[in-house]
Amino acid sequence: MQNWIDAYSWINIRFLLQGLGITILISVISVVLSFIFGSILGIIRYAKIPYFSKIIGFIIDVIRNLPLLLIIFFTYFGLPAFGFKPDTIPAAILAMTVFESMMIAEIIRSGILAVDVGQMEASRAMGMKMGQAMWHVVLPQAYKKMIPALVSQFISLIKDTSLATIIVVPELMQHGQVVYGQNPNYIIPVFVAMAIMYFVVCYALSLLSKVIDRRMA
Amino acid sequence: MIKLLVDNWSAFISGFGWTVLSSLLALFFSLIIGSLFAILEVMPSKVARVIGNVYVEVFRNIPLLVITMFFYLVIPLYVVKINGFTAGTIGLTIYTSAFIAETVRSGINSVDDGQMEAARAQGMTFWQAMKNVVLPQAFKLVIPPLGNQFINLVKNSSVLAFVAGFDLMYQGNAIASTTFETVNTYVVVGLFYLVITLPISYYMQHLERKLA
């Protein structure tokens, strides 16, 4: 019992919460960037531009099918060979953005495919250009359908930031390791605390997604 | 890059083997555990449903790394000495089983209720009806999403590198740090992962298109 009380001293808890803050910061920045790049890539793949869309599609498939951990290693240890040496937090954000953009690109593409073709055809028949029809008619409907998939991707992203501990990004998992590193008796209490913190954030998001989904339907 | 691959062939292959072994073991056990929890989630008893739900929601919303590190650090401390490979595979199994439970449950839900009712009306027990009538139909529906879960599982098995699990990622790091050929090593490691994941991914896309 004393171990739990000691492990949960305010200093330790505050340190874990700071880690959680960094976790959320990295996740939010990465998800915003990935949403932008993912949308662009997804539309390019959907648009079937000769050769270009095929090449982009292949790159998306390759990166999507690699472990994120490998991309993190490559960003932090491989990129310096090309003369670019990012700091730990930017490296984590870069790696997450590259990986998540590809995941989101696929979600966007299948979301657009799920919108009835008639919508695009009708807009074109009204005299809209392809880009206008996409922006004003197809995308708003596609995004609505994609909300559950996008939120669950965001939840994965939050969980995946824990992998960045390997390049010593000061996020929740890394701060947890620092705390239980002081005393082996802290291992279980710290893991319970970390699990609760991740769970609260991720579960709250999944509930939110259910609420949005129900309201839209 | 070819020289690197030839020089370190045995290390790459052994890493590849451990990755495949861990993924297959975790797939096998998480299919069993995941299906059990999926059935719990659709059982008539409220207690069973709550147990199933709690398991799925808890392990789906906690990072795999937290689960794996917990087993790696805690089991040897209090129960029995296990190596990184075992701890990693246990972590992978538990994490993946929660996702498989969710997938199988949605498969069971999309089987028409009438199937279960008719089977029960024929005098089958809940378990008989589940096993002989509902599950076979449910599994057919969830093959593409299960394939995607397997791809995730193979990619996720790279967390074994955190617990010295001899896997591809772990061997890759060892090779990168001795040869200093970081870029080439990670490219080769990536190709080894793609050998498994890319064909499954394309096959599942093909299946999805066929079923749709």
Instruction: Tell me the ipTM for this assembly.
Output: 0.91
How many beta-carbon pairs below 8 A join chains A and B?
103
Chain A positions in Cβ-Cβ contact with residue B189 (cut-off 8 Å)? 70
Contact in structure between B138 and B147 (CB atoms under 8 Å): no
Q: Which CATH architecture does the domain made up of B2-211 adopt?
A: Orthogonal Bundle (1.10)
- Give the C-alpha separation, B4 to A56, whole Å: 29
Q: Is the dihedral of CA A11, A12, A13, A14 positive or negative?
A: positive
All residues at 6 or more sequence positions from B24 whose CB lies less than 8 Å from its CB, including other chains: none
Chain A positions in Cβ-Cβ contact with residue B173 (cut-off 8 Å)? 73
Q: Mean per-residue pLDDT for B119-146?
A: 90
Residue A71 sits at the vertex; the CA angle it makes with A65 and A74, to the nearest 5 degrees, is 140
Report residue A161's pLDDT band, with 50, 70 and 90 as the boundaries: very high
pLDDT at B109 over 80: yes
Whether B190 and A70 lie within 8 Å, measured CB to CB: yes
Give the domains, in start order, of chain A with CATH numbers: 2-216 (1.10.3720.10)
CA distance B126 to chain A (A): 30
Which residues numbered 188-207 in A keep a CB inside 8 Å of some CB on B? 188, 191, 194-195, 198-199, 202-203, 206
Integer angstrom CA distances of residue B95 from A34, A136, B28, B34: 25, 40, 13, 10
Chain A positions in Cβ-Cβ contact with residue B62 (cut-off 8 Å)? 159, 195, 198-199, 202
CA distance A160 to chain B (A): 7
Whether B62 and A206 lie within 8 Å, measured CB to CB: no
pLDDT at A82 over 70: yes
CA distance B135 to chain A (A): 25
Whether B65 and A162 lie within 8 Å, measured CB to CB: yes
- Give the C-alpha separation, A210 to A217, whole Å: 11
Chain A positions in Cβ-Cβ contact with residue B156 (cut-off 8 Å)? 67
Contact in structure between B44 and B126 (CB atoms under 8 Å): yes
Q: How many residues does chain B have?
A: 212
- Give the C-alpha separation, A154 to A97, whole Å: 11
Contact in structure between B204 and B211 (CB atoms under 8 Å): no
Identify the three-state secondary structure at position B2: helix
Tell me: the pLDDT tens digits for A169-214?
A: 999 999 999 999 988 889 999 999 999 999 999 999 999 988 888 8
Mean pLDDT of chain B: 92
Whether A66 and B57 lie within 8 Å, measured CB to CB: no
pLDDT at B168 over 70: yes
pLDDT at B9 over 70: yes
Report residue B212's pLDDT band, with 50, 70 and 90 as the boundaries: low
- Give the C-alpha separation, A101 to A60, whole Å: 9
pLDDT at B211 over 80: no
Chain A positions in Cβ-Cβ contact with residue B66 (cut-off 8 Å)? 162, 173, 191, 194-195, 198
Token couple for A42 = 């997804």
| Nearest Cα residue in chain A from B186 | A74
pLDDT on residue B60: 93
- What is the DSSP code (8-state) at residue A182? S
Tell which residue, B196, B207, B211, has the closest CA to residue B19. B196
* Cβ atoms within 10 Å, residue B132: 11
* Cβ atoms within 10 Å, residue B50: 12
Whether A77 and B58 lie within 8 Å, measured CB to CB: no
pLDDT on residue A4: 86
CA distance B91 to chain A (A): 14
Tell me: the pLDDT tens digits for B171-183?
A: 999 999 898 889 9
Whether A191 and B69 lie within 8 Å, measured CB to CB: yes
CA-atom Rg of chain B in angstroms = 20
Whole-structure pTM value: 0.92
Residue ranges of alpha helices (H) inside A115-186 are 117-125, 130-133, 139-160, 172-181
pLDDT at B22 over 70: yes
Does A68 lie at the interface with B, CB-CB under 8 angstroms? yes
Chain B positions in Cβ-Cβ contact with residue A191 (cut-off 8 Å)? 66, 69-70, 73-74
Report residue B210's pLDDT band, with 50, 70 and 90 as the boundaries: confident
Tell me: the pLDDT tens digits for A10-52?
A: 999 999 999 999 999 999 999 999 999 999 999 999 988 899 9
pLDDT on residue A217: 67
Strand boundaries in B45-98, DSSP class E: none
Q: Mean per-residue pLDDT for A88-96?
A: 95
Longest dimension (CA), chain B: 68
| Nearest Cα residue in chain A from B157 | A67
| Nearest Cα residue in chain B from A172 | B66
Strand boundaries in A40-93, DSSP class E: none
Cα-Cα-Cα-Cα torsion B186, B192, B195, B196, nearest 10 degrees, comes to -110
